[in-house]
């Protein structure tokens, strides 16, 4: 049965494994691994930056970028529910001595422009110096509108602030925009990045590589990023075996993200239908709006324990958490979830019954 917990659970495809096996290798700490260098150059060109740096994780590439923009005692404006603030173990404060200034995330995934403006500190020795605005796209599967990003960037520039994009699922956002506008996904990704001084891109989520993330920016920024990566223990030696997987993913797994979005839509529609017709679940499942490959559903307390146990018993793996009085399930479509897997999961839900 399918694993919907995250798009991080994917396995390398046979073709990706072959690319990894054949990758020419060197010592990347000496900057002479040809496969790492090729990945970095390719990604930078693809997304419109001067340079890029390969690192073990998105947590590390975000911290490297934050550290590149902010010094000790400086401040970065972040979203209250975003990874850079909530899900990365406080690294910006613990290791970077950077003060996070969280701003409440709105239901559509944005931060209010007025809230960002209000969070910017005056140049006064009583305050941490505001240096950076961070955006996350996608955020909880939601796509930040391009016009909104441009407006935030205009505000940041007018106040002398840098912009960083946590683009772990950047290509999911680009895929959604391309479908909406009838444009090319790579062009959309480059356009999204054009407003930012730096960006991070995860290769091991929707793109399906086993390990790795990229931080992208100017040549000088990436030169400093290499030093920061060393401080953080992220220098790897014959890393080309991993970089080759990321390079393959950028070339072969971007356009297929549309399949994940389509499968997620099938799952969401199926669960919505069951909320209307299932003898036990009727009126008990709230299916939240979805845009890309991530779906949230809330279960009524009357059925939540039995339903989550039923899914686990039958091998349908999801993540769950308490959200107020409801149990929230997170479903993620990815490379290893097929249309048949979605059908099987919905069939399992259809067969759900209360114990006894």
pLDDT digits (tens, 9 = 90+) for 283-324: 999 999 999 999 999 999 999 999 999 999 999 999 999 887
- Distance in angstroms (rounded) separating the CA atoms of residues 76 and 91: 13
- Distance in angstroms (rounded) separating the CA atoms of residues 106 and 340: 35
Q: What is the pLDDT of residues 101-139, one digit of tens each?
A: 999 999 999 999 999 999 999 989 999 999 999 999 999
Q: Which residues contact 173 (CB under 8 A, 6 or more apart)?
A: 137, 138, 143, 144, 167, 188, 189, 192, 292
Give me the percent of the chain exceeding a pLDDT of 70.
Answer: 100
- Distance in angstroms (rounded) separating the CA atoms of residues 356 and 351: 15
**Which tokens sit at 340?**
């048949």
Residues 66/134, Cβ–Cβ less than 8 Å:
yes
DSSP string covering 186-224 = HHHHHHHHTT-SEEEEESSSTT--SS-EEEEE-HHHHHH
Q: Which pLDDT band, with edges at 50, 70 and 90, does 32 fall under? A: very high
Question: What is the structure's pLDDT at 356?
Answer: 73
pLDDT of 1 strictly over 80:
no
Question: What is the structure's pLDDT at 95?
Answer: 94
- Distance in angstroms (rounded) separating the CA atoms of residues 339 and 356: 32
Q: What is the pLDDT of residues 227-270, one digit of tens each?
A: 999 999 999 999 999 999 999 999 999 999 999 999 999 999 99
Q: What is the pLDDT of residues 194-203, one digit of tens each?
A: 999 999 999 9
Question: What is the structure's pLDDT at 323?
Answer: 80
Chain centroid to Cα 332, Å, comes to: 12
Task: Give the residue carrying structure tokens 């683009």.
Answer: 167
Question: What is the structure's pLDDT at 270?
Answer: 98
């Amino acid at each position: 049965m399918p694993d919907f917990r995250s798009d991080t659970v994917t396995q390398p495809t046979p073709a990706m494994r072959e690319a990894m096996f054949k990758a020419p290798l060197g010592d990347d700490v000496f900057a002479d691994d040809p496969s790492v260098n090729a990945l970095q150059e390719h990604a930078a060109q693809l997304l419109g930056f001067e340079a890029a740096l390969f690192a073990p994780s998105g947590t590390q590439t975000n911290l490297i970028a934050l550290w590149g923009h902010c010094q000790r005692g400086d401040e970065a404006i972040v979203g209250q529910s975003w990874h850079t603030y909530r899900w990365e173990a406080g690294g910006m404060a613990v290791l970077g001595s950077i003060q996070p200034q969280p701003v409440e995330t709105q239901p559509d995934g944005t931060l209010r422009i007025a809230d960002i403006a209000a969070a910017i500190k005056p140049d006064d020795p009583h305050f941490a110096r505001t240096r950076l605005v961070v955006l996350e796209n996608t955020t909880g599967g939601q796509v930040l509108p391009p016009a909104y990003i441009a407006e935030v960037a205009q505000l940041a520039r007018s106040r002398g602030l840098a912009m960083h994009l946590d683009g772990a699922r950047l290509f999911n956002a680009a895929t959604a925009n391309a479908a909406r506008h009838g444009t090319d996904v790579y062009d959309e990704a480059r356009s999204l990045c054009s407003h930012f001084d730096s960006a991070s891109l995860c290769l091991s989520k929707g793109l399906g590589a086993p390990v790795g993330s990229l931080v992208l920016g100017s040549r000088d920024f990436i030169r400093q990023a290499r030093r920061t990566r060393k401080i953080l223990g992220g220098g790897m030696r014959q890393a080309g075996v991993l970089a080759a997987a990321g390079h393959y993913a950028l070339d072969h797994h971007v356009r297929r993200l549309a399949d994940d979005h389509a499968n997620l839509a099938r799952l969401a529609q199926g669960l919505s239908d069951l909320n209307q017709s299932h003898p036990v679940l009727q009126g008990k499942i709230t299916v939240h709006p979805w845009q890309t490959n991530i779906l949230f559903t809330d279960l009524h307390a009357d059925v939540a324990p039995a339903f989550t146990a039923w899914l686990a018993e039958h091998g349908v793996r999801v993540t769950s958490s308490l959200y107020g009085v409801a149990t929230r399930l997170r479903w993620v479509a990815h490379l290893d979830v097929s249309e048949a897997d979605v059908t099987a999961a919905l069939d399992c839900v259809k067969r759900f019954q209360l114990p006894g």
